[in-house]
């Protein structure tokens, strides 16, 4: 059996080597056809943007095209909300970036191409965002780069790093989020900006848990589950994910301090709207082949409606960020111009240049023209358009004809990032603030939110309005949220076991089913619970809360039925008393994290005396292992058995902690270079390798 398994593994290795050699020879291993390199040319694209003058000079246009035809560098940021962010950043500099330049330079020695060194973005706070220039081919050829790649994957899975395009980091940055803010992300999927907002919400953790929350929305039910995956990495009890159309997002309710319902007004809103996406051509080169003028024209109306709805939901004095990954002024400045004119003096475009110092960009455009997709003809004012275009090109897409009106809009305050400015993709950002009630919504907030349309009509003596057809809900039907009461038996059991303080509110714990034994207990903050309880019947809530406790099946009937979950420790550890908390030395924590295999847990006799004495004083069961210094505090969920103790955490989290402790993590790294050497030796002994000549003969036959 073992011999058969080894033979299969060897065959798999040889197949992978064959595929790698096919790729290097210019063939597709799946069909053995030569790769068709995408030609990064589109005459309509270039004519359109040259006419719109998105670049100020011919020299800038040449730089723009040159940058747009190159691949995008790899970028990532260290999670800034974590206490150990700076420590992890130091690990990145010392262990992974120190040899980066020499390694990449050696790989590119043949083509003599210049390799830019890794750099942190000067405009991102704390130097926690990085740019690296290496390709997938480089990773395949270099062991140090493979280690760096594996590091990024591991830390991303554990939520300590986010691999995100550089320009995508700008909108959450200028949103200016603080821990007390109520935030709505209108078009959130896939979730990288949502994750950044959650991090900002938790940045003031020294002052206690956030009193604000994030509502992350997307119209696509399937994409909502991508949001769930992104948010879960950050273990935040302040985030809820909902499924609704952003352009008609429902008015949510919230209970005030007196227990009465009132309309929920958001302090911060991100409207990263659907767009044509031609700013992502470096990352998605296939856009070159399918770009058309009509895409921007057709999206303008939807983009305007989303921004308008966002402003309606924004509180007075709040801030909304409108952004796209498009170059098209019809999707950018035209939407902002249209909105500002509709709002009169109720909304103002803000100058946020001081919030992104170090970022190179162009100011917003103040003149543009609208083009007909069929005849490729440009129009500079609505009166010149033929009647046939009336339903396609709207007057609101044009810039204001009156110079005084145009000056009042301050469109130059918009941010236009082009690829050559910072070696990134292209992006558009506009930051608006709401100064007073919108002209068309002066008296709306006077109606009590608990009134239905029928109740309002009855109050006015009018007949009730006709019933609306119920919208068909796509996707899975979500389980409801069942919140605990103060005398919930499960909580009383947990409170006794873990010495939960009286300050903790059990009403913030919930489960998703009343059928059978509860497997998981989740935790949300008080503000998040308020929003869920007040809106569960009016909007589809996909997910909320973090896993706080997990059922464990003890043989001892008198022990607690739930163990601590690692995901919930950052939020709950301050409420848990010293009864089941173990303070450990560095070496003991390293020993635990290196031996998380449940089949072979460490013996209590193997740990240091200080830890051993504490373990002997507590009964078997779940506990917290804590290691703390001036610069770091690590809390790990553990299980104390009769003779053993082990960390109850995921491998990625264990590796992260070990890195911060300066321990060796090579046992968790998959070094394919060592494996390939071993496989080559075995293959040579069994004569199962294929020569280059044989390989090309096989390709010719299969083609």
Backbone angles phi, psi at 170, to 5 degrees: -70, -50
The length of the chain in residues reads 703
Torsion of CA 282, 287, 293, 297, to 10 degrees: -90
Structure tokens at 661: 């402790």
- In terms of DSSP H, where are the helices of 25-175? 43-52, 58-68, 85-91, 100-107, 136-141, 143-157, 170-174
Judge whether 438 and 398 are in contact, CB under 8 Å: no
Backbone angles phi, psi at 179, to 5 degrees: -65, -20
Structure tokens at 195: 């994750």
Chain-centre distance for alpha carbon 487: 37
SS3 75: strand
Structure tokens at 482: 């069942």
Annotated catalytic residue 325: yes
Contacts of 470 (CB under 8 A, 6+ apart): none
β-strand 261-263 against 253-255: which pairing, if any? antiparallel
Backbone angles phi, psi at 357, to 5 degrees: -60, 135
Q: Strands across the sheet with 520-523, in order?
A: 482-483, 509-511, 520-523, 546-551, 562-564
The closest alpha carbon to 236, from 479, 628, 572, 627, belongs to 572
Question: Catalytic one among 325, 343, 371, 657?
Answer: 325
How many beta carbons lie within 10 A of that of residue 297, not counting itself? 23
d(CA 591, CA 98): 28
SS3 647: strand
CA distances from 610 to 56, 233, 615, 620 (A): 69, 33, 9, 18
Would you give the DSSP letter of residue 95?
I
CA distances from 507 to 500, 528, 549, 573, 576 (A): 14, 11, 15, 17, 16
Backbone angles phi, psi at 147, to 5 degrees: -60, -45
Give the active site residues: 325
């Amino acid at each position: 059996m073992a011999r058969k398994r080894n033979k299969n593994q060897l065959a798999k290795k040889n197949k992978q080597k064959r595929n790698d050699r096919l790729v290097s020879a210019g063939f597709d291993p799946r069909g053995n056809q030569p790769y068709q390199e995408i030609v990064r040319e589109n005459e309509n694209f270039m004519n359109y943007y040259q006419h719109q003058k998105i670049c100020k000079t011919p020299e800038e246009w040449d730089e723009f095209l040159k940058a747009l035809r190159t691949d995008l560098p790899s970028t990532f940021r260290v999670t800034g909300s974590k206490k150990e962010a700076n420590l992890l950043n130091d690990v990145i500099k010392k262990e992974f970036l120190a040899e980066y330049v020499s390694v990449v330079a050696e790989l590119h020695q043949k083509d003599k191409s210049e390799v830019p060194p890794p750099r942190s973005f000067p405009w991102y706070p704390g130097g926690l965002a990085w740019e690296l220039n290496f390709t997938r081919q480089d990773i395949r050829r270099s062991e140090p780069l493979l280690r760096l790649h594996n590091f990024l994957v591991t830390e991303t899975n554990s939520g300590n790093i986010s691999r995100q395009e550089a320009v995508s980091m700008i909108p959450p940055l200028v949103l200016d989020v603080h821990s007390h803010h109520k935030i709505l992300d209108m078009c959130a999927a896939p979730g990288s900006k949502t994750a950044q907002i959650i991090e900002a919400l938790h940045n003031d953790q020294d002052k206690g848990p956030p009193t604000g929350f994030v509502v992350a929305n997307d119209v696509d039910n399937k994409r909502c589950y991508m949001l769930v995956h992104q948010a879960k990495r950050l273990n935040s009890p302040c985030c809820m994910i909902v499924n609704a159309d952003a352009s008609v997002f429902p008015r949510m309710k919230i209970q005030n301090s007196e227990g009465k319902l009132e309309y929920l007004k958001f302090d911060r809103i991100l409207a990263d709207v659907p767009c044509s996406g031609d700013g992502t051509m470096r990352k998605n080169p296939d856009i070159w082949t399918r770009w058309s003028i009509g895409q921007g024209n057709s999206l303008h109306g939807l983009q305007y409606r989303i921004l308008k709805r966002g402003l309606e939901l924004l509180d007075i004095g709040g801030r909304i960020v409108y952004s796209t990954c498009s170059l098209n002024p019809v999707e950018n400045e035209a939407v902002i111009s249209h909105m500002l004119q509709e709002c009169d003096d109720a909304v103002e475009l803000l100058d946020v240049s001081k919030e992104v110092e170090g970022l190179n960009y162009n100011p917003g455009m103040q003149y543009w023209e609208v083009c007909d997709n069929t005849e490729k003809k440009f129009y500079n004012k609505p009166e010149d358009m033929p009647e046939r275009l009336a339903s396609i090109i709207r007057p609101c897409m044009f810039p204001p004809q009156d110079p005084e009106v145009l000056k009042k809009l301050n469109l130059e305050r918009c941010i236009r990032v082009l690829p050559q400015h910072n070696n990134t993709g292209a992006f558009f950002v506009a930051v608006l603030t709401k100064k007073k009630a919108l002209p068309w919504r002066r008296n709306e907030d006077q109606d009590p939110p608990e009134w239905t349309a029928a109740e309002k009509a009855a109050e006015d003596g009018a007949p009730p309005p006709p019933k609306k057809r119920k919208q068909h809900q796509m996707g899975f039907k979500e389980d409801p949220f069942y919140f605990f009461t103060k005398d919930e038996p499960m909580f009383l059991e947990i409170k006794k076991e873990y010495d939960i303080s009286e300050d903790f509110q059990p009403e913030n714990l919930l489960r998703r089913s009343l059928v059978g034994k509860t497997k998981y207990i989740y935790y949300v903050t008080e503000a998040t619970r308020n929003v869920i309880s007040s809106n569960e019947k009016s909007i589809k809530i996909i997910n909320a809360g973090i896993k706080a406790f997990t059922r464990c099946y003890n043989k001892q009937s008198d022990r607690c039925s739930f163990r601590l979950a690692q995901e919930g420790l950052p939020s709950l550890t301050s409420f848990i008393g010293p009864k089941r908390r173990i303070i450990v030395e560095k070496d003991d924590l390293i020993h635990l994290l290196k031996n998380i295999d449940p089949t072979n847990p460490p013996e209590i006799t193997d740990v240091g005396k200080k830890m051993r004495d504490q373990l002997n004083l507590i009964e078997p069961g779940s506990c917290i292992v804590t290691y703390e210094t001036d610069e770091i505090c690590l809390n790990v969920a553990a299980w104390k058995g009769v003779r053993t103790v082990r960390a109850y955490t995921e491998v990625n989290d264990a590796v992260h902690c070990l890195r911060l402790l300066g321990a060796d993590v090579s046992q968790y790294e998959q070094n394919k270079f060592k494996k390939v050497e071993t496989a080559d030796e075995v293959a040579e002994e069994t004569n199962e390798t294929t020569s280059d000549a044989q390989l090309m003969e096989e390709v010719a036959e299969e083609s």
